[in-house]
Every structure is written in C-alpha cells, then in structure tokens.
Amino acid sequence: MSGVSWQYKAAVFVLILAATSCADVRRHYHYFLDMHYSPAGDTAKWDDIGNRQFDMQEPDYTITYGGKPAYPYQKDVDVERASRELVAPANFDLKRGEKYYQIYCSPCHGLSGNADGPVAKKMPTVRKLVGQPAESYPLTRIYHIATVGQGTMKGYAPQVREEDRWNIAAYVKNELQKKK
C-alpha cells in the first residue's frame, strides 16, 4: 500500500467525502420548528406551531380542505358583501386594539390615522382612516380590509389573530374616528 501515491489517496478521500455529504440528512432535532422544513398550511385547519387558525386566503386555483374556505371574501372584490355578511363580536378590547394598531397599522396610517406614518411618506397611496369616506365604513368593512387588504395594502390575516383584527377595527372605529 506504500506504493499508492498521495494524489490517489486524496482523490479517494474527496470521493468519499462528496458521497457522504450529499445525502439527504433529516435530523431529529429542530432549532426553528416553522423554518426547518416549511410547513404547508391548510387554510381550514389549525397550525402545529402557534396553534392558530390558517385564516388567510388560499392560493389561486386550489381546492380547499372540506370544500369551505377559511375566509370566503376576496380582496377588492367582496368588500360590500363582507361588510354586510360579517358579524362583529359582542365585546372588544380597545387597549389591545390600540396596541396592535400601533404595531401593524401606524407605520403607514400614522398614530392618529391621518396617513402620516413614516411609510406613507414614501407611498402616496396610503389612505386616511379619519374623515370621509373612511368614517362612513362599518366596523365589518374595516375588519375585512385589515384581514385581506385593499389596493396596494396587503392583508394581515397571516400575522394578526382574528380576535386582534376585530380589536384593531373597533379601535379605529370607536377611538381614532371619534377623536379627529
């Protein structure tokens, strides 16, 4: 074996290393459960990680689980229907609504709802939440817009729980629009 050149030994070592490191290794431990292997979300079920409902819109041309969509109203299409058909809960937590408004909404709409947040300076399409026509919107319409978005605004269903979107809508309707 002493007659084998070091180049041959190096080539064999590289081949063994390449063959063993290219294998599909599935480890039994995970540092970030939702990022190690991206979980597929069934919009009509509960997720495994946050124990929250996947209440976001399904991708186009898909069939929902059980035939019923988790949120049946589409962005910019079903605004009036959603405003009529949605039923608001009986109780709201306006303090929690204010907290989540400041986190998710104020960067664009501003603390007072005048579309004067830091993002609005770069995006002139941000709409005011106070004054007309926004003040004539029913609570259900504000919730619908917070859920699926409107115009260039994306919906917050994937980031904010349903209960908190109702709290945000109630805060906008009962606090911001009354203060103006």
pLDDT by residue, tens only, the chain of 180 residues: 567 788 989 998 888 877 766 555 555 555 555 555 555 555 555 555 555 555 555 566 666 556 666 677 888 888 899 999 999 999 999 999 999 999 999 999 999 999 999 998 888 889 999 988 888 999 999 999 999 898 888 889 888 999 999 999 999 999 998 875
pLDDT at 17 (0 to 100) = 76
Q: Give me the pLDDT at residue 71, please.
A: 76
Residue with tokens 């063994």, as numbered in its chain: 16
**What's the pLDDT at 121?**
87
pLDDT at 134: 84
The pLDDT tens digits for 85-99 are: 999 999 999 999 999
Amino acid of residue 82: A
b/e per residue, 144-171, with b = 16+ CB within 10 A? bbbbbbeeebebbbeebebebbbbbbbb
pLDDT at position 14: 87
Question: What is the reported pTM?
Answer: 0.64
| Ordered domains of the chain (ranges, CATH) | 6-67 (no CATH), 79-179 (1.10.760.10)
A 10 A CB-CB count for 27 gives: 7
Q: Which residue intervals of 5-148 are DSSP H helices?
A: 6-21, 33-36, 79-85, 94-100, 106-109, 139-148
Tokens of 162: 């349903």
